[in-house]
Structures are given as C-alpha cells and as structure tokens.
Structure 1
Amino acid sequence: MAHQLLRFAMYKDHPEPRMFNTPDELQDSYDVVIIGGGGHGLAAAYYLAKDHGITNVAVLEKGYIGGGNTGRNTTIVRSNYLTPEGVQFYDKSVRLFQDLSQDFDLNIFYSTRGHYTLAHTEGSLNTMRWRAEVNKHFDVDSEVVYPNEIRRDVPEMNLECGGEMPVMGALYHAPGAIARHDAVAWGYGKGASLRGAEIHQKTEVTGINIESGRVTGVETNRGTINTKKVLCAVAGFTPRLTEMAGFSTPIQIRPLQAAVSEPHKPWLDTIIVSGTLHTYINQSSRGELVMGSSLDPYELHSTRSSLDFTEGLIDNALDLFPFTSELKVVRQWAGMADITPDFAPIMGKTPVEGFYLDSGWGTWGFKATPVSGKTMSELVATDRVPELIEPFRLSRFTENRLMGERAAASVGH
C-alpha cells in the first residue's frame, strides 16, 4: 500500500480512478429510478446491471452515498432469526456477504466472530431454544450454550451481571460477523457505476408523478425525471416518500443510537447481545468497543444523540464488563430506524403500479443489504415477487398475516 501511494499519489500521469461516477446532469428519463443511495439502493442498482442487464438506472441520494443508516449502524451480520421466513432470508444474505470482497475486488473487512445472544431468565432461555431449533431446521448454525461454555469463550464477562440479572445461557450463532459498512456501500456503488448506472448525490426527490394509478416519474430539486419504475429505499424517510406517492404504511420512525469507546488492546473477538439489558457490544479491528442499545421510546424524525442513552448503555455494559470502567466514550451518533408492528421489513409492490418499496428495516437493515438488493432488483426487472420476500409484502398488515420477529430483533424494543 505504501509503495502504491508513493508511486501514484504524486504524479498526475497516474490518477487513481474514482469509486463511482458523478454525472453533471440528470437525463430526461431512465428505465429505473432508485431513491436512496445507501446500501440497499446501491445493491439494487448493482444487481439490476449484473444479473438483469438493466443499466439505464439513476440512483438519487439527497445527501451523500452511505450517509444515512448505512453509515450509522454497528455492522453486525447474522441470520439467527425466529421465523422460518426470516431465517431463510437472512441466511441468504450472510452467504452473499461472504463473497462480496471477491465480487467487488474490494476488501469489506468481513470478519466472522460468532454471536452470543444472552438469556437472563428462564423464559428468554426457552426462546433461545426455540430459535435454535428453527435455525437448525434450515441448516443455520445456532445452538444453546450454558454459563460454563460462555465463560470459556468470553472469560472477561461477568456472568453475574452485578448480581441482579445473571446469565443463564445464550444462543450461540457461529456465522455471526461484522463488516465495514462504508466499504459495502462503496463496493456496490463502484460496481453499479462501472456497469453504467448513474449515481446522483445532493439530489432530493420532491414529488412522485402518478397517472391512472401508475408511476410516471419523479420531481427533484434538479428537475423532472420520467420513468415507469421507481424503487424507494430510504429507511427513515419512507413515510415522506409514501405520502408523495399517495399511500401510507404502518411504519414508525424512532432514533436508534450507538457509541464507540477509545481504542483498547483487542480482547473481545465475539459479538455479545443482551435483549434483557438492551445492550450489544463488539470490538472493532481498531480496538474500539462498538456499542448499541434499544430504540428511543418515542417517534422522532431526527438523528440527534442524547446523554440519557449514553448513561443507560454504559450502566448496562459495565454489568457485563466491569473492568472497562476506565474507558472513555469518544463518539456517539444516531440513525432513524423505520419500525413496523411485527419487526419485519416491508418489501415488494405497492398500491401504485411501478412503485416498489424496500423499507421497515428498523435495527437490522445493514445485514440484509446483499439479499435486499438481489431480490428487489429481480422484482423491479421482472415485476414478479421473488418467493423469498413474498411474506414481507405490504398487504400483510390488512390480511392479518404479521411475521412476529420481535423476539429475534437483538435487543428488546
């Protein structure tokens, strides 16, 4: 790397190619317009080109690439969900993640760590047993482990948790991993751009044009675009876009906060989650403790952070790892989580023909990035709903066919 920097950085004859294109102007029309330049939107553009040969695509991002929830999450990848539909969906995503560095020719720093979901009560331990059986049925590597096994693998953890909520066991998910979120977005953006898709940053959608129940275009702060297909993948801004399109969803938007500590000598090589303590922790390759908690308890379209979050998070983290009390929190932030009543996403067609929705990801959108791009691109290209995402259709809320993934959403919400 040092040699490459010395060789190329100082010479105009050897410019480093840009990660993705930045066209000066919008075209009048595109085959597909994707609203949202996060991981999901860029992945859809990538697979539209790679799998379906559709390259006349515009990705519109009101801010900058990966500046929304893609760059604000804690980068955990797993598939140890509760429902058969959720397990199969996320297992596909994990398998795609494992090949992304090779697909992109870009290191996304994918690191398999193992994932412990702690149980502090007999009831939660029974839920872990249930999840383990569902996982095993679909060949997903998960098993219930008990304090002696946890103590062996994570000797730094205080299994007594301050004496109030002792750890009784855990669901151990060996494929649990972390990845570099920015690299995932850049990799998809680069791959889509190389195949002909256009990526337009600082381009805000201000309206959706509809005629006779069908989308005909979008209005932006840079002009009108004609198109017959629009994919909305904007996470916390979903209600604003669906209002423009003339329909509603049961999504609520709540802040989800996270924080990192100062770097520390590596000691935690697994991912630790406690739904009871509303805490999850892993250690980055730079030595930082990456920590998160539950959603804020009120609806708010904002990415502000709060002292109350930090105090609650650190209090619970110290119950698990009291020796970290001298570490300093150096940064905290928030994303806008789009939560559905059944804690499962909304994917597929909408009441507006040609307007497709990829939303409702709440606390688990990053881990679904590859599979969402793969399935939504298939839907947009063929107008046929892939079997893998059919259960996540918007109409399930009026059909009373909710999914019920609350128990597997990492932390209690």
Structure 2
Amino acid sequence: MRSKASFSNDKPQKKISGYSAASLFYQGLKPQSSWKKNWTEPDLKKQYDVVIIGGGIHGLATAYYLASRHGITNVAVIEKSYIGGGGSGRNTAIARSNYLTPEGVAFYDRSVKLYENLSTELNFNIMFAQMGHLTLAHNDSSLRTMRWRAEVNKVQGVDSEVIGPDEIKELVPMMDTSAQTRYPILGALYHPPGGTIRHDAVVWGYARGASLYGIDIIQNTEVTGIDVEHGRVTGVRTSKGDIKTGTAVNCTAGWSPLINQMVGIDMPVVVSPLQAAVTEPVKPFLSSVVVSGSLHVYVSQTSRGELVFGASMDPFAQYSMRGSLDFIEGLAKNVLTLMPGLSKMRLMRQWSGLCDMTPDYSPIMGPTEIEGYHVDIGWGTYGFKAGPVSGEAMAELIAHGRMPEIIAPFGVERFADGRLVGEKGAASVGH
C-alpha cells in the first residue's frame, strides 16, 4: 500500500504580491539602481530560533515552509557566498519522480506535485516545463530495470511506462533508433510529468517568499563553528559574529561533511565533482529530456534553445570544480552516438558542481545524535528536484519535533540497521 505523508498545511497562506504586466514594463524602464529588491539584506541578529546553514534551494525552502506553514519566522539562512551559488546554481535543472524504490518514488512525486503549483504559491514564475523524461535502455539488463521501475511507479500512482524505438523516434526525431548503431536503443522508460525548471528562479522565488515572512537571509557569511554543550546545540559561530540558537540545520550539499565535523559527527558521504556543459542556442527541436545510463549522458533543451548536457560524476573524490577536457571528449562522443546530427553545434561553456553521495544513493535527512542539529544532505546528483519536498518535510520536523513519514526511510540510522534505500538503478546518471 502506498504510504501517505501527513503535512500540516492548515495555517493561512500569506499573499505574496507581484507586479502587473504594465508595472513590469515601467519597472524595466527605470535605472537598475532604483529597482525594488526581492529580498532584504538585514544585519545578523544575536539570537534566532533556527539557523539554516546553506542558502540553496533546500535551505531556502526549509525557511519558507517554517514561516508559511508553521509560523516560525525568527530564522536565519546563512550562506557563505551568494544564495544559489552552490549546487543550486550548478545543476541541470531536471525534475522527475520515476525512481526505483517505493520510498523514493513517493518522496520525489511529492516534490513534483509541489513544483507544479510553486509558481502560483510564490507568485514567481519558476518556468517548469513538463516536457517528459526518457531513460533509454541499450541492452536486456537495462530494459529489465526500466520495466521494474515502471511497475514500481505505477503502483505508486506515477505516470511511467516502457516504450519501444518507434515511439521514441516520434518523441525525438533527431534520435538514431536504428539497429546499426554501436549502442542500439531497445526501449525507454517514458515519464511524461518529468521536465526542466529554471533553477535560479526557484532560488529567487523561495528567497523572496521567505523574506516577505521576515526570514533573515544572510549572504557572504561563512559558518566557522557550531557550539555544542551537554549534547545539544547552543549556538552557531560565523565570520560576522556569533549566534545563539537551539536549532541548526545542515543544508550545504557538497560541504556537508565539513559542517558535520563542527559537531563531531561523521556520516557516510563522499564528495565528488559532477560536470555539465551547454551549447550555442538553436531552433527548438528536443521536446523531451533524454537520459542514457549505459552511455552516461543526459541532454535537454532550454527555452532559449541551448542544449544542456551532463554525465556521471567524476571517478574521484575532491572539492575542485574545474572542468576537464576528458569530460568534454567523452560527452561529445556519447551524445553524437545518440544524435549524430548535432556534430556541427558549438559548445559554449562547461561547469562543475559538488555531489555529496551516500552508499545507497539516497539522502540523509532528519535529527542526529546531537540534540537540535538536523541534516538535509547526501543528495548526490538529485538534490535540485527534491528541494520543495525536503524543505516541507524538514520544516515539519523542526516545528513539531517528529520525523515526517515521507522522510522516515532516509534517517542516518538506516546504515547501522541495514535498511538501505538503494536508488543507484534510478539515480546514478538519470538526474
């Protein structure tokens, strides 16, 4: 039976005002120095009820839902750089819920549902294009996994099905679905609700919403330590001063092991770079997100016409975010195997982000052995798509002091208990 999460949403929603079309036009005519800021830049206070470390999608969503759903507004979001400057601004902005385990499917499906209504709730266009998501199968083993995923998805009420080469060709005419290719396409897992979202719009929307509720967003401020007395959090130290608080939340993705060290906790997280690249803009032709686990590549097209590419994580643990020639060479070879007609397109730039990967490819969420210290980490290659549901669930955990059912399987204790949530078959490349 499908598990259902119980979320508290009975508090009145605050109306987040926006601009009319005419006011937006006149706003654009004004000099930039006179533009109204979407969020405030307050001074750091000496005490907060909750301090959220990390100003990306997860941290901002947690702050927003604490305020909008639970009325907790004495909250600071601390970001060492600018908001969205970490993994939230370095991903390929794909959203989907066609995972492999029942726990993962229910979790990510909730996030997609939240994304579908997020523009309305925040009164901020996040540009969610549900163009569909194709995960290709090039051999019998991959095809069996796709069928397995499709059945798990259907049981959970998620729209997914396995389709053949002819249907794939209809969806993506540019795709080489012939039997003469080096990696023939036997089928694909087709997930219509999947698509892409403008990642910086999500960050800005949550930041604006949280700020209107009175949340303090503190940028360019580094957390240097967390004070713990008698097994509980008492404060957070930053480069701009110390804060008294009883609750600290680690939402720092690739930097999460360093924050954990501040309270003396070690978790099974390995940090590795994940590279991506983008081409020059061309006339739109790709109407679905295309993923190949066998070729370790995925591609989508933006509304401006650029093709966004990605691959698997670099095969080593480090904190460097420099691009590499090896990545581009391998990426180009695999993309052209799928779509030979792209050979004349010019690559414009590449970038890299940090992935905090766990042994079972599922996140670590919830309380820890240190009272008042919570984690929302271990996202690997799929943190962006989980931002809304993670923020919603972490806010409920903090507000009510109990683990929401939807994230209960992702507690850190599962590694000691042997209750892993194995998502490698759905998460290692298919972002």
- TM-based fold match above 0.5: yes
Contact map agreement 2:360 2:422 (CA 8 A) in 1? yes
Map of 2:286 onto structure 1: 268
1:67 paired to 2:81: no
Structure 2 CA distance, aligned partners of 1:248 and 1:352? 12
AA in 2 matched with 1:198: D
Structure 2 CA distance, aligned partners of 1:293 and 1:156? 20
Map of 2:336 onto structure 1: 318
Cα RMSD over matched residues? 1.6
Contact map agreement 2:131 2:289 (CA 8 A) in 1? yes
1:249 paired to 2:264: no
AA in 2 matched with 1:348: G
Give the SS at the match of 2:227.
strand
Structure 2 gap ranges (5+) = 1-19
Map of 1:99 onto structure 2: 117
Alignment of 1:227-306 (within 5 A): 227-306=245-324
Q: Identify which of 8, 12, 36 aligns with 2:54.
A: 36
Structure 2 CA distance, aligned partners of 1:164 and 1:11? 56
Q: Deviations over 1:40-81 (max 9, x none)?
A: 000000000000000000000000010000000001000000
Shift of 1:391: 0.3
Question: In structure 2, do the counterparts of structure 1 residues 344 and 276 end up closer, same or farther at CA, with 3 Å as the change threshold?
Answer: same
Question: In structure 2, do the counterparts of structure 1 residues 360 and 11 end up closer, same or farther at CA, with 3 Å as the change threshold?
Answer: closer
Give the SS at the match of 2:148.
helix
Shift of 1:7: 2.7
1:8 paired to 2:27: yes
State the TM-score, normalized to the length of structure 2: 0.93
Contact map agreement 2:182 2:337 (CA 8 A) in 1? no
Shift of 1:10: 5.4
Q: Identify which of 97, 101, 121 aligns with 1:79.
A: 97
Question: In structure 2, do the counterparts of structure 1 residues 8 and 75 end up closer, same or farther at CA, with 3 Å as the change threshold?
Answer: closer
1:18 paired to 2:25: no
Shift of 1:17: 2.3
AA in 1 matched with 2:228: I
Contact map agreement 1:161 1:320 (CA 8 A) in 2? no
Question: In structure 2, do the counterparts of structure 1 residues 56 and 152 end up closer, same or farther at CA, with 3 Å as the change threshold?
Answer: same
Give the SS at the match of 1:276.
coil
Contact map agreement 1:276 1:412 (CA 8 A) in 2? no
Map of 1:399 onto structure 2: 417
Structure 1 CA distance, aligned partners of 2:407 and 2:199? 23
Runs of 4+ deviating beyond 6 Å: none
Give the SS at the match of 1:308.
helix
Give the SS at the match of 1:96.
helix
1:182 paired to 2:200: yes
Shift of 1:383: 1.3
Shift of 1:159: 1.8
Shift of 1:370: 0.4
Q: Deviations over 1:126-184 (max 9, x none)?
A: 01000000000011000000111111221110124872210000000010111100000
Contact map agreement 1:33 1:59 (CA 8 A) in 2? yes
AA in 2 matched with 1:300: Q
Contact map agreement 2:171 2:287 (CA 8 A) in 1? no
Structure 1 CA distance, aligned partners of 2:264 and 2:78? 20
Count how many residue pairs are aligned between Structure 1 and Structure 2: 411
Map of 1:27 onto structure 2: 45
Map of 1:45 onto structure 2: 63
1:225 paired to 2:240: no
AA in 2 matched with 1:332: Q
Contact map agreement 1:108 1:184 (CA 8 A) in 2? yes
Q: Deviations over 1:271-311 (max 9, x none)?
A: 00000000000000000000000000000112111111111
Which stretch shows the higher mean deviation, 204-213 or 2-11? Answer: 2-11
Give the SS at the match of 2:114.
helix
Question: In structure 2, do the counterparts of structure 1 residues 174 and 10 end up closer, same or farther at CA, with 3 Å as the change threshold?
Answer: closer
AA in 1 matched with 2:312: S
Question: In structure 2, do the counterparts of structure 1 residues 171 and 8 end up closer, same or farther at CA, with 3 Å as the change threshold?
Answer: closer
AA in 1 matched with 2:55: G
AA in 1 matched with 2:37: R
Percent identity, aligned pairs only?
56
Structure 2 CA distance, aligned partners of 1:275 and 1:110? 24
Contact map agreement 2:298 2:430 (CA 8 A) in 1? no
Map of 2:365 onto structure 1: 347
Question: In structure 2, do the counterparts of structure 1 residues 211 and 262 end up closer, same or farther at CA, with 3 Å as the change threshold?
Answer: same
Structure 2 CA distance, aligned partners of 1:271 and 1:6? 33
Q: Identify which of 127, 130, 140 aligns with 2:148.
A: 130
Shift of 1:8: 3.4
Contact map agreement 2:361 2:428 (CA 8 A) in 1? no
Contact map agreement 1:161 1:319 (CA 8 A) in 2? no
Map of 1:112 onto structure 2: 130
Structure 1 CA distance, aligned partners of 2:241 and 2:158? 47
Structure 2 CA distance, aligned partners of 1:92 and 1:412? 18
1:191 paired to 2:209: yes
Structure 1 gap ranges (5+) = none
Shift of 1:124: 0.6
Contact map agreement 2:76 2:218 (CA 8 A) in 1? yes
AA in 1 matched with 2:124: L
Map of 2:11 onto structure 1: none
